[in-house]
Amino acid sequence: MHRLVLLFRRAVDALRRGPFVSAVAIGTIFVAVLLTGGFAAAFTGAEGLLSAWARDVPISVYLAADADLERARAEAVRLAPGARVVAVSPADALRRLRNSLGDQATVLDGVGPEVLPASVEVWSRGSLADTRALAGRLRAVPGAADVDYGAAWLERLEGVLRKGRAVGLALLGLLATATAVLVANTLRLAVYARRDEIEIMKLVGATDAHVGAPFLLEGLLQGLAGAGLAVAALLGATTALLPWLRSSVPLAVRLSRPDLLPNGLLLALLAGGSALGVASSALALGRFLRRV
């Protein structure tokens, strides 16, 4: 424990002696973690909106002309226990259509309810995957001619999210590599500034692990500081933008900070920033030790 305290003091003293190098390293890690967190928050929020859409838009089971509406509703209740189930007769469907058209409802004058099919509407309470599975089960409703839950739009948006996630992960991998190299090159200045100290330690028999421990701890502290600042910035930006998002996107009214930045993601960003700092220090120190 005493050894760990000494290492920590040495690391803090080294950070104070090289404020410029520390500031550059912390700033670089801050930018990398901020971009990563922003990307993750955007896709987490988009997935949350898709799930909200799946819960707010009912699954419509359209029935054949000779189907028994009440029997179909009873079967839907059995297949979706606990879900809200509503039977919609052709007359109800026509009335809804007139109301949705507003002033243009006159175009339906002379149109009878027989032109519209009866249907059963089911509201899913689960995730998007649960909604898709429930829609599949509802195809077994007696007299079901078609089942619609916005699949075309949902699948299109899911496809966009999948492609965006793949591209984003590739770009984030490149960003992490570039950041590690950039920070390592910056930290080499601190290593070279203490080269006499390192050479003396090596001459008296210090191992590479003993020499490198303070530098790795410095990298850990720099990474943690940069990631901590990025997490604080993300939390502040989320708090500021959530009211605007809720007012601009109707489905976003139920979104909260944990929906965009869950605690697990925040911890992962802190851990990732710390690991990036340690990796950069190890890279910078390894090059130097190979030459000693």
CATH for 77: 3.30.70.3040
Report which residue type is found at 151: A
- What pLDDT is recorded for position 233? 95
Domain endpoint, select from 149, 174, 207: 149
The arrangement of strands across the sheet holding 119-123 comes to 84-88, 119-123, 59-63, 144-148
| 289 and 212 Cβ atoms separated by less than 8 Å | yes
- Give yes or no: residues 66 and 183 share one domain: no
For the chain, the domain total comes to 2
> Is the same domain home to 68 and 198?
no
Residues 131 and 273 in one domain: no
Residues 251 and 167 both lie in one domain: yes
Same domain flag for 267 and 143: no
What beta strand segments (E) does 153-241 contain? none
pTM higher than the cut 0.85: no
Query: What's the confidence (pLDDT) of residue 252?
Result: 65
Q: What is the CA radius of gyration of the chain?
A: 30
What pLDDT does 288 receive? 60
Q: Do 198 and 191 contact (CB within 8 A), yes or no?
A: yes
> Which string of DSSP letters, residue by residue, matches 209-242?
HHHHHHHHHHHHHHHHHHHHHHHHHHHHHHHHHH
pLDDT of residue 2: 52
Tell me, yes or no, whether 183 and 245 share the same domain.
yes
Domain that holds residue 62: 58-149
Q: Which residue has the tokens 């075309």?
A: 152
- If asked whether residues 145 and 165 sit together in one domain, one would say no
**Residue 184 burial (C-beta neighbours within 10 Å; 0-12, 13-18, 19+):** buried
CA distance 269 to 29: 11
Look up tokens 């909200």; give the residue: 52
Q: How many CB atoms lie within 10 A of CB 91?
A: 13
Same structural domain for residues 29 and 74? Answer: no
Reported as a single tens digit per residue, the pLDDT across 105-139 is 776 677 777 788 899 999 877 777 777 888 889 99
- CB-CB neighbours of 25 under 10 Å: 32
Please check whether residues 144 and 8 belong to one and the same domain: no
Partners of residue 88 on adjacent β-strands: 119
pLDDT at residue 1, as a whole number? 56
Cα–Cα distance between 152 and 273 in angstroms, integer? 39
191 and 109, same structural domain? no
215 and 162 both lie in a single domain: yes
Q: Tell me which residues of the chain have a pLDDT lower than 50.
A: none
> Domain boundary at 105, 122, 149, which?
149
* pLDDT value of position 25: 82
Maximum alpha-carbon separation in the chain? 101
**165 shares a domain with 24:** yes
Q: Are 108 and 98 in contact (CB under 8 A)?
A: yes
- Which of 149, 184, 206 finishes a domain? 149
